[in-house]
Structure 1
Amino acid sequence: MASGAPATESPTSVFDVAAYILRREGPMTTWKLQKLVYYCQAWSLVWDDDVLFQEEIQAWANGPVVPALYEIHRGEYRVATIQQGNPDVLTDSQRETVDAVLDFYGNKSPQWLSDLTHMEDPWRKARAGIRDGERGTARITEESLAEYYGSLQTDVS
């Protein structure tokens, strides 16, 4: 299980990860893209003991959001490309992680993904004290992601 602290500085940005997701999966709603990059970060912390990207994740009313990514797709419902991202900079290990996340979560609806995040501790704990539907910018920490999603992983030896 991950210690919760990033092992190294990741040269990959959330834009690179989003560009990779869109190249593989095709156009999607911005809402779904936000949830997929969130799950990619969470499982990278568990499986690789490292962050996938450095940008902060916040617990917004509709689920986890990376504000830096939101800023470039603000006002759009669907997105097909992320011009600021380069999908080719992901390492083989990072691509394996993202591919595994997409294999599991990629066919889920944005609403399903949002509902799932609302039932999970990292978002719930970050939103503690904030009313349902109320705006909030509480940070979801890498430590909370590693701890929660690491507890879901079972050892198969």
Structure 2
Amino acid sequence: MKIRSAREIAEWFVAWGDELDAEVSPLKLQKLLYYSQGEHIAATGRKLFSDKILAWQHGPVTPGVYSDTKSYGRNPIDPDEFVSDEFNWDDYSDVSDELVTVWRKYGIYSAWALREKTHSESPWLDAWAQGQNIEITDAALKDFFLVH
């Protein structure tokens, strides 16, 4: 399985939300990325995407995807603008079941509920205690998601 970029996984979540007529805001997308990375590392011992996740004020963030979506503010991300023309569901066949599981487990919650949830979990709490923009390590994700 190839390691993708956070942007590629983000495009999958936005496209999936579009298929279900469910809106995905930048804040919600960040939390879905965090949960998908954590669940994947716990299950496989490997990263789902290569980007770092940092502890920011409103929870875990992948800075590149934040940059790509911040113009939406609290509004839903427009799939027609965000998802590349080259996007193909078949390119995700190795992880689609896993991403659907993450969506079903966490996508049902509002962006703010997910933010609050991450604020009660050790990967963000421990990194945030050290200061803003500290990386949430793969080891911290694995330790937490193996038991949660």
Distance 1:9 1:97 in 2: 14
Gap change, CA 1:87 and 1:46, over 3 Å in 2: farther
Question: Is this contact kept in 1: 2:14–2:83, CA < 8 A?
Answer: no
SS in structure 1 opposite 2:55? strand
Q: CA deviation at 1:91?
A: 3.6
1:39 counterpart letter in structure 2? Y
Kindly report which structure 2 residues correspond to 1:72-91, keeping only aligned pairs within 5 A, or say none: 72-77=68-73, 78-81=76-79, 82-83=82-83, 86=87, 88=89, 89-91=91-93
Would you tell me which structure has more helix in proportion to its own residues? 2
Moved over 4 A (4+): none
Q: CA RMSD for the aligned pairs?
A: 1.8
SS in structure 2 opposite 1:74? helix
Deviations 1:91-115 (A, max 9, x none): 42x1111110101111101111000
Identity among equivalent positions (%) equals 26
Q: CA deviation at 1:14?
A: 0.9
Q: Tell me the TM-score normalized by structure 1.
A: 0.80
Deviations 1:116-153 (A, max 9, x none): 000000000001144xxxxx21100111000111122x
Gaps of 5+ in 2: none
SS in structure 2 opposite 1:79? coil
Kindly report which structure 2 residues correspond to 1:33-112, keeping only aligned pairs within 5 A, or say none: 33-77=29-73, 78-81=76-79, 82-83=82-83, 86=87, 88=89, 89-92=91-94, 94-112=95-113
